[in-house]
């Protein structure tokens, strides 16, 4: 009789203990899952890309004319083309290199002197340094640039061409609208070295001193 009462009492105590103190494995099952790694939601800017852009260009230039008094040779126009580059990201910093080739028509002119200039090609190779916040990045850029220029003298029926080399600096803002498509807006300033244009009446010396470009682009990131 006593043994049956003791076994019943011991069984009751054991079941109560299991209910009050579940096994470690059972308790672990009741814990909430750990939060996902927040880095999985951060956009990765590293990799190559290829895209197209449209650039509004304003040239504010001066030149040494053939005996004329007005040295201004300014105007605006549009250039369009392609760009490509590669980015490497470490933390929030994004470093990269980029090149572009643009074609179009920018037409500075001096009505008084009857001097017409035509810039139909421009290219740059630049380094970039950016600060990224997830899918948005602000950056600065700088490097070398060159362009093709033709200056005509309608009164004499003559024209001459040259290639100018110089430097380019600027900055911009990019946003990754999807994992692969990245849009941008940027501003570049360029300054080019002096070149001499030779004609029958004499020579014109110009360096294409100030080239301002506002550019819109979109690229596919690989």
Is pLDDT at 133 greater than 80 in this prediction? yes
User: Is the pLDDT higher at 67 or at 194?
Assistant: 194
14-37 tens-digit pLDDT: 455 445 545 544 444 556 665 554
What pLDDT score does 35 carry?
A: 56
- Predicted confidence band at 111 (pLDDT cuts at 50, 70, 90)? confident
Q: How far is Cα 220 from Cα 128, in angstroms, rounded to an integer?
A: 18
Domain ranges of the chain: 2-31, 39-221
Q: How far is Cα 88 from Cα 47, in angstroms, rounded to an integer?
A: 7
What pLDDT score does 157 carry?
A: 93
User: Is the pLDDT higher at 197 or at 32?
Assistant: 197
User: Is the pLDDT higher at 216 or at 204?
Assistant: 216
Coil/strand/helix, residue 155: coil
What pLDDT score does 27 carry?
A: 44
Is pLDDT at 67 greater than 70 in this prediction? no
What pLDDT score does 167 carry?
A: 97
What pLDDT score does 102 carry?
A: 98
Q: What is the DSSP string of 101-123?
A: EEEEEE--EETTTTEEEEEEEEE
156-170 tens-digit pLDDT: 999 999 999 999 999
Q: What is the DSSP string of 81-95?
A: EEEEEEEEEETTEEE
- Predicted confidence band at 45 (pLDDT cuts at 50, 70, 90)? very high
99-108 tens-digit pLDDT: 999 999 999 9
Stated length of the chain: 222
Q: What is the pTM of this model?
A: 0.79
Weakest-pLDDT range from 84-98, 135-149, 199-213:
199-213
What's the mean per-residue pLDDT of the chain?
86
Q: How far is Cα 110 from Cα 137, in angstroms, rounded to an integer?
A: 40
What pLDDT score does 36 carry?
A: 52
pLDDT, average across residues 182-190: 98
Weakest-pLDDT range from 35-44, 117-126, 200-209:
35-44
CATH class of the domain whose range is 39-221: mainly beta
Helix residue spans in 69-181 (DSSP H):
none
Q: How far is Cα 131 from Cα 109, in angstroms, rounded to an integer?
A: 40
Is pLDDT at 150 greater than 70 in this prediction? yes
Coil/strand/helix, residue 37: coil
């Amino acid at each position: 009789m006593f043994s049956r009462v003791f076994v019943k009492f011991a069984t009751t105590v054991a079941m109560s203990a299991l209910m009050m103190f579940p096994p470690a494995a059972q308790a672990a099952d009741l814990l909430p899952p750990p939060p996902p790694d927040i880095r999985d939601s951060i956009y990765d800017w590293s990799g190559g890309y290829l895209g197209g852009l449209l650039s509004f260009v304003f040239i504010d230039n001066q030149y040494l004319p053939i005996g004329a008094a007005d040295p201004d040779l300014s105007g605006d126009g549009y250039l369009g083309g392609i760009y490509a580059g590669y980015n490497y990201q470490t933390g929030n910093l994004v470093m990269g290199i980029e090149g572009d080739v643009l074609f179009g028509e920018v037409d500075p002119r001096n009505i008084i002197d009857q001097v017409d200039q035509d810039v139909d090609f421009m290219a740059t190779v630049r380094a970039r340094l950016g600060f990224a916040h997830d899918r948005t990045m602000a950056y600065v850029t700088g490097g070398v640039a060159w362009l093709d220029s033709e200056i005509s003298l309608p009164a004499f029926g003559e024209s001459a061409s040259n290639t100018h080399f110089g430097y380019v600096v600027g900055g911009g803002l990019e946003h990754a609208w999807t994992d692969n498509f990245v849009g941008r807006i940027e501003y570049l300033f360029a300054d080019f070295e002096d070149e001499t244009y030779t004609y029958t009446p004499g020579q014109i010396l110009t360096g294409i001193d100030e080239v301002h470009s506002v550019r819109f682009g979109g690229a596919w990131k690989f």
